[in-house]
Amino acid sequence: MCECCCIPLGCISMPVTVETPEGYPHPPNKMLCSRCGHISKASYRQNRAYCGVLFIPCIPCGRGVPFLACSRCNFPCGNVTAEECSRCGVTTCYSVDYCPNCGTSRPGVPNNPKALTDSEIKTYERKGSDNISENHGNDENHADNKRKTIGEMRNK
């Protein structure tokens, strides 16, 4: 008599964090991840393939090309722009005209208006907080007007 036994065999791919490979630039210290939206240090990762028996990786059988990934969510970032923001030092995985972190215009972008200086930003922030405190008393009037408008719509 012959007894048949089924043993699952296969290839398992696992991403592994690696040191900076030879010939690669150092990963950016402050990178904005397009997936999780956090600013964190990037790290190099590499896909490694293993032959597995019963879903247990046993024998290494291949390595992929190292790639940059977010150290927080491990999302592969692809190409990281070589230009980092001159104000906050954040690099991104995608091409943008303005820094998504602080709003500074990137160099080399044609017809960009002058970026705001730190003192101008503080002035606008101060004016914004003054407007909030001035308009705070009008919130009740705004709510009353909104109720009147809704009431008029129901009566029609």
Residues 58-95: pLDDT tens digits?
Answer: 888 888 889 889 888 888 887 665 567 888 888 887 77
User: Residue 142: inside a domain, yes or no?
Assistant: yes
Query: Which pTM was predicted?
Result: 0.57
Q: Are residues 96 and 133 in the same domain?
A: no
Write out pLDDT tens, residues 3-21: 777 778 888 888 899 998 8
Number of folded domains that form the chain: 2
- Which domain range does residue 92 map to? 9-109
C-beta neighbour count of 42 within 10 angstroms: 21
Q: Tell me the two tokens of residue 62.
A: 């291949």
Are residues 153 and 88 located together in one domain of the fold? no
Residue 81 in contact with residue 92, Cβ under 8 Å?
Answer: yes
Whether residue 34 contacts residue 42, with contact meaning beta carbons closer than 8 Å, is answered with: no
**Does residue 47 sit in the same domain as residue 90?**
yes
Give the separation between CA 93 and CA 15, rounded to whole angstroms. 19
